[in-house]
A and B are shown apart, each in its own frame.
Chain A
Amino acid sequence: AAGVIQSPRHLIKEKRETATLKCYPIPRHDTVYWYQQGPGQDPQFLISFYEKMQSDKGSIPDRFSAQQFSDYHSELNMSSLELGDSALYFCASSLGVVTGTSNTEAFFGQGTRLTVV
């Protein structure tokens, strides 16, 4: 079965450069979530989109932006990169809104490991 695809898998950037991470959700999934996981840390929610509209916003820095396109793939744009941005960035997708009584679950991609040097 198709899974969530993230690209690239690994990325090395220098400080102050920009990076674009891409996420291709499972076909027919309409919700995408972005998470940042620092070394030894739990994943931190950055932002989510439902039906191409931002649905919720977490601890995403102002230097980062994201969007969901008409084909439901999403891109996370990161500018003025800092050493502290080095982390594993996960994308997840789900079908529909996740509510307390729904059976919806989120499926994760393998992540993009960003290293800022």
Chain B
Amino acid sequence: GNSVTQMEGPVTLSEEAFLTINCTYTATGYPSLFWYVQYPGEGLQLLLKATKADDKGSNKGFEATYRKETTSFHLEKGSVQVSDSAVYFCALHSNYQLIWGAGTKLIIKP
């Protein structure tokens, strides 16, 4: 079946550090891939998405590239800020469902 695996957290970084949160998936066909972010006490927000192989989603300095050959959709940001502290969820869309990763808590220290 379809599944998403993302790196365990928490991930703790200093401000302006480079961020990578790994996400790999298992799916039949070519699902759309997403990163959602959940700030403390808030709901889920779509951060970025990619709908086909080699697509790059980007938003707020975050990027992720849909890699079909490695079935990956790693989230990256060149210089993180304290305000990026949140939980990040990788997800794929398949047949009316969002299949979620377990979430990675990101803590950015000033």
A residues near B (Cβ < 8 Å) are 31, 33, 35, 41-43, 45, 48, 50, 55-56, 58, 88, 90, 92, 97-111
The answer for the CA separation of A105 and B75 in the assembled complex, in Å, is 18
Number of A-B contacts (CB under 8 A): 78
A98 touches B94 (CB 8 A): yes
Known: A104-B32, A105-B34, A110-B42. Is A98-B93 also a contact (CB below 8 A)?
yes
Q: Given the complex, which residues of B lie within 8 Å of A99, measured CB to CB?
A: 29, 93, 95
Q: Is B109 an interface residue (CB 8 A)?
A: no
Secondary structure call for the A interface: loop
Q: Given the complex, which residues of A lie within 8 Å of B43, measured CB to CB?
A: 88, 90, 108-111
B97 touches A33 (CB 8 A): yes
B residues near A (Cβ < 8 Å) are 27, 29-32, 34, 36, 42-46, 49, 51-52, 89, 93-103
Q: Given the complex, which residues of B lie within 8 Å of A103, measured CB to CB?
A: 32, 51
Cross-chain pairs A/B with CB under 8 angstroms, 14 sampled: A33-B97, A35-B98, A42-B103, A56-B96, A58-B97, A90-B43, A98-B32, A98-B96, A99-B93, A103-B32, A103-B51, A105-B32, A108-B46, A110-B43
Q: Given the complex, which residues of B lie within 8 Å of A33, measured CB to CB?
A: 96-98
The answer for the CA separation of A41 and B89 in the assembled complex, in Å, is 11
The answer for the CA separation of A66 and B52 in the assembled complex, in Å, is 33
B34 touches A97 (CB 8 A): no
Q: Given the complex, which residues of A lie within 8 Å of B101, measured CB to CB?
A: 42
The answer for the CA separation of A30 and B46 in the assembled complex, in Å, is 19
